[in-house]
Amino acid sequence: MLPYGSYHEPNPQQEYQGSPGEQRAGQDAAYSGYGGARYLEQHWPVGEAQVERHEQGQVQGQVPSHDHDDPPTIELGPPLTEEDLRAAGYQPVEDPGPVGPLYVVGDVHGYLDELVSELRRQNLIDAEGHWSAGRSRVWFLGDFTDRGPDGIGVIDLVMQLAAEAAAAGGYCRALMGNHELLFLGAHRYGDEPVQSTAGTASFRAAWLLNGGQQHDLERLEGHHISWLSRLPAIALEDGHLLLHSDTTSYLEYGASIDEVNDAVHDLLADEGADEWWDAFRRFTKRFAFRGPGGPTAAGELLGTYGGHRVVHGHSPIPYLTGEANSDSGERPYVPGPYIYADELAVAMDGGVTMEGRLLVARLPLD
Ligand SMILES: [Mn+2]
């Protein structure tokens, strides 16, 4: 377990105490009603006022300390330089080398400034917006465009980071969300009628109804289309099954990760507007892991594709928890990723489009 086998644990996790609305209503604040769900505070860089916990469970000081003698301790977070490793008593490995920590990024939806801010906060990029995370591994969970102001800027940044991360020995990868299908569909099929249970529809009309930004479409270039069209729908990383949407519809495209990803690629390469539309509709479904059947649904995906926990975007946490329906008029309270479905599922869409927040989290969450 070199070199990430020993590090400071973040502060013991705070149980979610409920939104202000829930607290006022006197409801059981720690229980959401969705399969024992709870919030997990972000693994933000440790603030000075926070108490840090030694890995043996001893609480020490108010200020992060590096005075431990044993075992050697490495500061959380990338990048780890060779000096860091040597200082911690490890010999850097030339090749293939240890993999870096794993991060996931929730739905961005064109909110480029918020994305840059969160990546900076996690030390994944530098002040100039370049990859600074060494061998770290970053997965975006899809939905780059629509609703927010600069979808193409987001895609450009992720493509740039993908190249820079690869050069640094890490990676930055992305899943295909339903908005990628919608955006590509609006570009490729425009106003062409498609079969819809709700009557005649078109990709362009649906895209505009779902926050499509004309200036994004006008700036969409061939290299964006090639990159977007090849994004995988599912990935498995360190036991985490990464999906965009909280739906079991992936099962309709294959019984293995490769089958599903190949099926989606083939569909985008070869099929017509109706098949694209059908895929868009399936990957726009949500809330499969919520409620009494949620753990079973999550377990079905995990049993088929592997992993012990599903990590998804797509459904903003305030909708998932029902907080957004409380009509409080207040900004939704999203302290971090949302763990639910008997802890088989983690929601990562912090609802940046509804004044929530864009979430970047290091996995595993505990
Ligand atoms: Mn989505």
Q: SS3 breakdown of the chain: % helix, strand, coil, rounded to 5? A: 35, 15, 50
The string of pLDDT tens digits covering residues 266-325 is: 999 999 999 999 999 999 999 999 999 999 999 999 999 999 999 999 999 999 998 876
CA of 355 to the centre of ligand 1 (A): 16
- 61-75, 86-100, 143-157 — most confident range: 143-157
C-alpha 259/C-alpha 267 separation (Å) is 12
Confidence label for 39 from pLDDT (cuts 50, 70 and 90): low
Cα 160 to ligand 1 centroid, rounded to whole Å: 22
- What domains appear along the chain, each with residue ranges and CATH number? 45-363 (3.60.21.10)
Q: What is the pLDDT of residues 192-205, one digit of tens each?
A: 999 887 777 999 99
Q: Shortest CA distance to 235 belongs to which of 247, 226, 244?
A: 244
154 C-alpha to ligand 1 centroid (Å): 15
Instruction: Give the pLDDT confidence of 119-147 residue by residue, as tens digits.
Output: 999 999 999 999 999 999 999 999 999 99
Tokens of 310: 């599903």
Checking if the pLDDT of 188 tops 80, the result is yes
Cα-to-centroid distance, 147 and ligand 1 (Å): 11
For the packed helices 151-167 and 112-121, what is the interaxial angle rounded to 10 degrees?
A: 30
* Angle subtended at Cα 363 by Cα 92 and Cα 228, rounded to the nearest 5 degrees: 95
Contacts of 290 by beta carbon, 8 Å cutoff, 6+ apart: 34, 35, 246, 320, 340, 341
- For residue 97, the model assigns a pLDDT of 73
What separation in Å is there between the alpha carbon of 98 and the centre of ligand 1? 33
Enter the pTM of the model.
0.76
Q: Does the pLDDT at position 334 exceed 80?
A: yes
CA of 76 relative to ligand 1 center, distance in Å: 31
Other CB atoms within 10 A of residue 21 CB: 16
Contact of 366 with 106, CB cutoff 8 Å: no
Mean pLDDT of 45-49: 34
3-class state of residue 227 by DSSP: helix
